[in-house]
Amino acid sequence: MTDSPTSVNLNKDEQKSAESDSKSSKGSGLWFKIKSLKIGFMPVGLWLVLAVGYVLLAITNVMPKNDMLISLGVMVVFSYLLEEIGNNIPILKSLGGKVLVVTFLPSFLVFKHWLPDSTVKTVSDFMNNNNFLMFFITLLVVGSIASMNRKTLLKATSRIIVVLLLCDVIGSLVGTGVGMALGLSAYKAYFFIVAPIMAGGVGEGAMPMAMGYAAILSGTTSGDIFGQILPAVMLGSLVAVVCAGAMRKLGEKKPELTGNGKLIDDESDKLESLKTKGGEVSIEKMLMAMVMAIAFYFLAVWLNYVIKTYLHFNLPSPIIVLIVLMAAKMLGYIPKDIAEGGAALNTFVVKGITPPLLFGVGVAQTDWNKLIEVFKSPASMVVILVTVLAIVATAFISAKVLGLYPVDTAIAVSCCSGQGGTGALAILAAGDRMELMPFAQVAVRLGGAMTVTVAIFIMGLVV
């Protein structure tokens, strides 16, 4: 039986209708995908509005000066975009790619003058005049320690100090030995490459080390010496970032080697974490933890002044915050409400502040010229690489012996080979272990102070 002309027309109409619905469905699916795209935590539409606002300010050269909102807005526009780029680069994304791109690409762009001068000035003024890095570190340290189990804190701190001592000794021996094998003198390898890597950064590591060296060596200035040792600090930090990314990847493949932000496995710590993170935390509790962070910083700044004035000794404010807060936590003086607020504060700081801060560090505090200086000497490059690897390997192995999680311990201790606070920020971000900032500060401050003191003492004996 043949179809009538009418039925044929109806079939064609139905087919056209189906094709139309299919196209509409595909179109809406594409639109849904576009709407669901995100730059960081922001829907792409919101990021575009922010980006358009920045472009209008930049091309008309009306970027306001000393405007905190403008500075933060610029940092947000670039940082989350660069983070997305780093997250999608094959191989590199497994080695802390997003941190490398967010921190070091801006430094290169500044070097090549490919960022508008107004943008560089706005970000640099904000980073250099507002102590934003200290704000970040203080909130993160307080949030981490306040929400930590006090027994676990005591166990982990005592053990990580042992790990740190081993890393300082073995890193120095291995780095100096490799330098000598490559034709460098032990003097050059240790004092100008290995020791600066473990000095705890620039301001509180390389700089006092240079001043100490200059006081011993006649005919040289601290500025000359500082210029010689700074490249090792910069490249050492870069290597540590890559190592932290590799450690994170190892932890993903072998979960038994990592505590995912914890150094030690403790049942009481698990119970406290469940209580602290199990439900919603009020804004009021988070604000209480933030106020406590500011209060501790007030106290630290005052104590730093008293110690410098009357004892003629510089104990940096971050280490005072760390010591006082650890003591308060271990003695049980931090209330439960603040502990719960500390966990929320820690999450907020990690997700909301880390990427913009890394971009600011790259623009204002990472000198590309100094970073590439060390590439002129292959022997120095090898010594730097081997020294950092020796530190990471020593931390990893000794952690297993001492009952710590190897991956997390290696990431935290490797911060001793970074650029102080900025290096610790980049290293922990690459390892996705920002919860370890208190222990990273122990590695940076305590490890750096030990290295500087020992290096200056030994130079005084051999020169």
Burial (CB count within 10 angstroms: exposed 0-12, middle 13-18, buried 19+), residue 307: middle
Structural domain ending residue among the three candidates 127, 158, 181: 127
Helix (H) or strand (E) holding 217: none
388 and 346, same structural domain?
A: yes
Question: Residues 331-367: pLDDT tens digits?
Answer: 888 888 888 888 888 888 877 888 898 898 888 877 8
Say whether both 195 and 93 belong to one domain.
Answer: no
Q: How does the average pLDDT of the chain come out, rounded?
A: 83
Q: What is the DSSP string of 264-276?
A: S--HHHHHHHHHH
Indicate if 96 and 149 belong to the same structural domain: no
Total domains, the chain = 2
Which residue would you say has higher pLDDT here, 267 or 409?
Answer: 409
3-class SS of residue 42: strand
Contact partners, residue 52, CB within 8 Å, separation at least 6: none
pLDDT at 10 over 50: no
Cα separation, 370 vs 337, whole angstroms: 46
For the record, the structure tokens of 195 come out as 């020791």
Here the tokens at position 450 are 């030990």
Same domain, 284 and 158: yes
- Rounded mean pLDDT, 121-130: 89
Cα 428-113-127 angle, rounded to 5 deg: 45
| pLDDT tens-digit series, residues 32-83 | 666 678 888 888 889 999 999 999 999 998 888 788 899 999 999 999 999 8
Domain assignment of residue 32, given as a range: 26-127
C-alpha distance from residue 445 to each of 190, 288, 319 (Å): 20, 27, 7
Range of weakest confidence among 115-129, 202-216, 249-263: 202-216
pLDDT for the residue 121: 92
Same-domain check for residues 119 and 139: no
* Integer Cα distance of 275 and 290 in angstroms: 20
DSSP state of 367: -
Confidence of residue 7 (pLDDT cuts 50, 70, 90): very low
Sign of the torsion formed by the C-alpha atoms of 35, 37, 41 and 47: negative
Q: 322 and 372, same structural domain?
A: yes
Say if 16 falls within a structural domain.
Answer: no
The residue behind tokens 């792409």 is 44
Angle between helix axes 150-181 and 317-330 (nearest 10 degrees) is 140
The residue written with tokens 């040289």 in the block is: 220
Is residue 4 domain-resident? no
Give the residue from 127, 149, 164 where a domain finishes: 127
| pLDDT, mean of residues 270-285 | 55
What per-residue confidence (pLDDT) applies to 298?
93
CA distances to 78, 164, 212, 320, 453 from 304, rounded to whole Å, are 36, 25, 21, 8, 19
- pLDDT the model gives residue 155: 82
Q: Determine how many CB atoms are found less than 10 A away from the CB of residue 274.
A: 10
Residue 300 lies in a domain: yes
Determine the pLDDT at residue 271. Answer: 37
Q: Is 18 part of a structural domain of the chain?
A: no
Are 158 and 301 found together in one domain? yes
The verdict on 150 and 51 lying in the same domain is: no
Same domain, 329 and 442: yes
- Is residue 450 included in any domain, yes or no? yes
Same structural domain, 240 and 388 = yes
Same structural domain for residues 93 and 183?
A: no
**Boundary (domain end) residue, out of 127, 150, 174:** 127
The reported pLDDT for the residue numbered 92 is 73
Asked if residue 20 is part of any domain, the answer here is no
Q: Give the C-alpha separation, 353 to 344, whole Å.
A: 14
Give the pLDDT confidence of 378-434 residue by residue, as tens digits.
999 999 999 999 999 999 999 999 989 999 999 999 998 877 777 888 899 889 888
> Is residue 261 very low, low, confident or very high in pLDDT (cuts 50, 70, 90)?
confident
Q: Does residue 8 form part of some domain?
A: no
Write the pLDDT tens digit of every residue in 299-328: 999 998 998 888 887 777 777 888 888 888
Residue 391 and residue 346 share a domain: yes
DSSP annotation of 335: -
Give percent of the chain above pLDDT 90.
33
Q: Are 293 and 139 in contact (CB under 8 A)?
A: yes
The SS3 of residue 43 is strand
Inside any domain, residue 1: no
